[in-house]
Amino acid sequence: DIQLTQSPSLLSASVGDRVTITCRASQDTSTYLAWYQQKPGQAPKRLIYGASTLQSGVPSRFSGSGSGTEFTLTISSLQPEDFATYYCQQLNSYPRTFGGGTKVEI
Amino acid sequence: QVQLQESGPGLVKPSETLSLTCTVSGGSISSHFWSWVRQTPGKGLEWIGYIYSNGNTDHNPSLKNRVTISMDTSRNQFSLRLTSVTAADTAVYYCVRHYAGDRGSFDYWGQGTLVIVSS
């Protein structure tokens, strides 16, 4: 199985901050990686797929980059509604696996 | 707009079988891959298995052979059966749709249903 390690697991930030979350894969996943946002009591919501393609309707302050084994999710200017937990997911092979999550808190 | 809705018992006894159904609206189940995912505080998000519209399935080897996923195209539903459950199977269970591109990230999710395994 491909293991995904996210860092940090907890990120304290303020509105307006630039935030970067890293996802490292135990094997090459090319660009077959997605990012999800989850708020308490809600299902995860896809933000980015193909490592860098923004889901329709997602604000442009979100961006993704990377390939191979290292990926990043960046929020250019953190907004109040962005405080949530973020997960990466690899799509290179089965079983599909997720990172452990990064909680972004105030 | 595609919508998914999980249904099934919220409480299952240890050693019994967990059964959930996902009803899809706003789109046909006769296309795309469809999966079950669960979430626990301890293990995070875990992919359980998928079914494709032609009936092909696959599941996470970590669940041994306890998983069966089936579909009913006439009702636009797919289902999960997980046998011999233990407390470790207590989780929020989501049904999801795979996006047709990018090797199938999960573009639509149900709201999730909490299943507790307890006597």
Give Cβ neighbours of residue A4 (< 8 Å, ≥ 6 apart). A23, A24, A25, A26, A88, A89, A90, A97, A98, A99, A100
Residues of B in contact with A97 (CB under 8 A): 47
| pLDDT reported for residue B100 | 85
Residue B93's pLDDT band (boundaries 50, 70, 90)? Answer: very high
Q: How far is Cα A52 from Cα A7, in angstroms, rounded to an integer?
A: 18
DSSP state of A96: P
> pLDDT band for position B41 (50/70/90)?
confident
Split at pLDDT 50, 70, 90, the class of B43 is confident
Instruction: Identify the residue whose tokens are 């200017």.
Output: A77
Q: Best interface-test mutation with A: which of B102, B108, B111 has the largest number of A CBs within 10 A?
A: B102
How are beta strands B11-12 and B113-117 bridged, if at all?
parallel
Contacts with A91 (C-beta within 8 Å, 6 or more apart), sequence order:
A29, A32, A33, A34, A49, B102, B103, B104, B105
B26-53: average pLDDT:
93
CB within 8 Å of B92: residues ≥ 6 apart: B38, B39, B40, B112, B113, B114, B115
Residues of chain A under the 50 pLDDT cut: none
Q: Residue A20: name the closest of A77, A90, A60 by CA.
A: A77
B87 phi-psi bin (left φ>0, alpha ψ -120 to 50, beta other): alpha
Hey, are the CB atoms on B106 and A44 less than 8 Å from each other? Answer: yes
Peptide bond into A95 cis (omega under 30): yes
Q: Is the dihedral of CA B63, B106, A82, A43 positive or negative?
A: negative
DSSP B14: T
Chain A residues with beta carbon closer than 8 angstroms to that of B102: 32, 34, 49-50, 53, 91
Interchain CB distance below 8 Å, A92 and B103: yes
